[in-house]
Structure 1
């Protein structure tokens, strides 16, 4: 016995090891309910495992040909499957595919399967040619049914949320109309003003739900679309276009607000705009109110309302303001975990709300 000779019994042990490997693979395939198949691409002969035959509903004694397989593929998926098989057999192709398609079993039942296959290449007459086709197939009908049910349930949920936003918007608009009607009949000027301001604030909340309804999204809203649109509406309704202009600069990249932050943020911006429209430009002064949104890319959002008007009163402190508007702004900023910076802009004033990432 030389040093290169295999030790006694090594060939037998190798055969046993190979047998155990094959047995382990067979048991794994059975446990996973995976069917396997092999095809000779030179002769066209096919060999399907018992599980593969069970998936396709084919008896153990039935001889399977390529034409038989093609006949089992659902007509609506036949061309897609045939194209995948043609493509995978090309000499320049990687020789592998993964595909989901429907089959129609001999008993008429339609099932979904997922199939993965690989071509084994070899040299024939000096050229690289596909020789064998090996693969596995799994019945995924129940998974597909679950996905369809989940998709349907999500569609129902979306429809319900859309209806909720629509109804909330309509209800808030009704409340707004009632407040406006009551304000019109109020004799006391102070009561009339309070009702009008309450109507306007409720209208802002209604507008948020209206935009959610229109966008068909119920979890987040585009910050530029929401705040820019509301600001434009506010300036148009309460401003003086002959004296006061308005400009809006959105963020360079899309920025969104979660729905639970959209309403308080919109109310804050609305109050800051009204504050500028009411106090920054006493007649006959003219100027421009600017709304600027800046996104740092990490989820933080900075919202600035600036004017070039008369500026802030000396010693102005928003925390000590007696006006209901600034008290609302301060309370909502705390609720959002945001910071509010108020500064002279020389000329004018600048209010900046810094929203941290959600």
Structure 2
């Protein structure tokens, strides 16, 4: 029994050490209970042997034995306390560590999984058995080979530490990324006997890495796009730089041409400040006024402008500054350096800066002194010719009136009524031509007369000659445009109207009574005019053809119409209407 007691005590100590690695507390407690039972039984068995035992050793020997036994008990107690404290710290560390802990016994192929290891995968503590197969069946198939390779490399001491990342199947069917780390233990023969490690949930980190990878991929795409865009921009910039260089060269060439044209121009060109000071002048302007460029640029345009022209010049400057006009051209006088006066034709425009504010004036000066002198001579000559022309018109009119008066005097000696009528008609025709020269004499334009005004005076004179009383036959005019005719058209047209109105007055209203004569002038198309003469009298005889009549009046109308390159159209319904259309040539 004593031997059994010793073996039981030894087994208890071995179990204390065993529970440090494998918490088999029920087995440990059972062994301790058996040890206690054996110790009690041994003690009972030893009671009859006490006398015999007392007889065996001496008192000193027993004290020494007791002392040694007490020491052993104390040491055992201290060891038990240390082991219990170590076991408590180990259990506390397992519960407090966020990582899962595992311990793999290579020989038995058993694996201890901590509660946190199981909890990380969503399992309860009793749902996973402690064997290696539990982990292998949960590793993602795509990661299994890499995990096996990492373990083999560590066992072969290719890597000093085991570490790998892989996916593990959770209880809910999802996968978690795990960082698995461990360290193997080798025996004296170099064989792996044990491997202890931990695994950490890195799912969030992996998701972040995947998100980061996607972002980086997108950034890479954007960088590529940006690079391509920058390349295109660079190419555009290079093309723009080349174009700009061409433009700069063109500008330099243009500036050189401008300088050449500016200084060698046949007219004076200048830049003038807003205060009137000459900023830049060319040689031609200096030649016109007799100043050097330096002398002129120290002055203002007001200083060399003739006083009589200065007010007009300043008014135009104000108008162009306030934006009422863009440019202006005037003729004015400048004082030359030698005191003489030169006539110039001045054209001025205003330049603006980038902000749109007035910058300076550009002036173009042309010497027109010779032209002014020629114009004065021409004006004097024209005035002389105008006086002479008016005198001619006046004399022709007087001569025609003299002829008309002679015909009137001669008609007093004519006894035949038919001859008298012929004389009176001739007198009236001469009067119509005299009226044309009178209108020419009175017209501001000595070459043309207002034909509408002339026709009204002519017809009024005819009404007076035929002694048409007011109210008997009315006269209506419609002139919708101003027609200015020279002698070559005014006289033929006047004679045509004279003949047509005379016929209406003589033959249109044989029975008397009320009637109307209408005279109209209109522009049919551009430079094509129509003269209309109509009345509401008895009209013309049937089958009338004025071209075949022997009447001088109708023959005169036909000849004059052809003379002005016109054509005549006759309408009868009622009365008669004549339309003479002719070009204004």
Alignment correspondent of 2:394 = 166
Structure 1 residue 191, shift from structure 2 partner: 3.6
- Structure with larger RCO (C-alpha < 8 A, sep 6+): 1
Structure 2 gap ranges (5+) = 1-233
Structure 2 distance, partners of 1:254, 1:286, is 30
Alignment correspondent of 1:345 = 573
Q: How does 1:229-308 map to 2 (within 5 A)?
A: 229-241=457-469, 244-308=472-536
Contact 1:95 1:120 in 2 (8 A): no
Cα gap change, 1:176 to 1:26, in 2 (>3 Å): same
Structure 2 distance, partners of 1:349, 1:202, is 26
1:28-50 CA-to-partner distances (Å, cap 9, x unmatched) read: 34553333434566996844334
Structure 1 residue 59, shift from structure 2 partner: 3.8
SS in 2 for 1:292: strand
Structure 1 distance, partners of 2:317, 2:419, is 78
Q: TM-score, normalised to structure 2's length?
A: 0.52
SS in 1 for 2:295: coil
Q: TM-score, normalised to structure 1's length?
A: 0.81
Structure 1 residue 122, shift from structure 2 partner: 4.3
Contact 2:500 2:533 in 1 (8 A): yes
Cα gap change, 1:299 to 1:248, in 2 (>3 Å): farther
Contact 1:42 1:131 in 2 (8 A): no
1:114 aligns with 2:345: yes
Alignment correspondent of 2:558 = 330
Alignment correspondent of 1:81 = 313
1:289-322 CA-to-partner distances (Å, cap 9, x unmatched) read: 2323333242323223222223322332212222
Structure 2 distance, partners of 1:283, 1:117, is 74
1:103 aligns with 2:331: no
1:48 aligns with 2:275: no
Structure 1 residue 128, shift from structure 2 partner: 6.2
Q: Once structures 1 and 2 are overlaid, which stretch shifts more, 321-330 or 235-244?
A: 235-244
Structure 1 residue 108, shift from structure 2 partner: 1.8
Structure 1 residue 247, shift from structure 2 partner: 1.5
Q: How does 1:23-62 map to 2 (within 5 A)?
A: 23-38=256-271, 46-59=279-292, 62=295
SS in 2 for 1:294: strand
Structure 1 distance, partners of 2:283, 2:427, is 73
Cα gap change, 1:5 to 1:157, in 2 (>3 Å): same
Structure 1 gap ranges (5+) = none
Structure 2 distance, partners of 1:216, 1:350, is 34
Structure 1 residue 267, shift from structure 2 partner: 0.8
Residue in structure 2 matching 1:198, options 419, 426, 429: 426
Structure 2 distance, partners of 1:41, 1:237, is 71
Structure 1 distance, partners of 2:382, 2:345, is 24
Structure 1 residue 353, shift from structure 2 partner: 2.3
Q: Which has the larger radius of gyration?
A: 2
Cα gap change, 1:276 to 1:71, in 2 (>3 Å): same
Structure 2 distance, partners of 1:181, 1:201, is 16
SS in 2 for 1:165: helix
Structure 2 distance, partners of 1:349, 1:98, is 57
Cα gap change, 1:58 to 1:274, in 2 (>3 Å): same
1:143-191 CA-to-partner distances (Å, cap 9, x unmatched) read: 3333333344333333332222111111111111111111112344444
Cα gap change, 1:46 to 1:310, in 2 (>3 Å): closer
SS in 2 for 1:296: strand
Question: Which of the two has greater helix per residue?
Answer: 2
Contact 2:481 2:521 in 1 (8 A): no
Alignment correspondent of 2:377 = 149
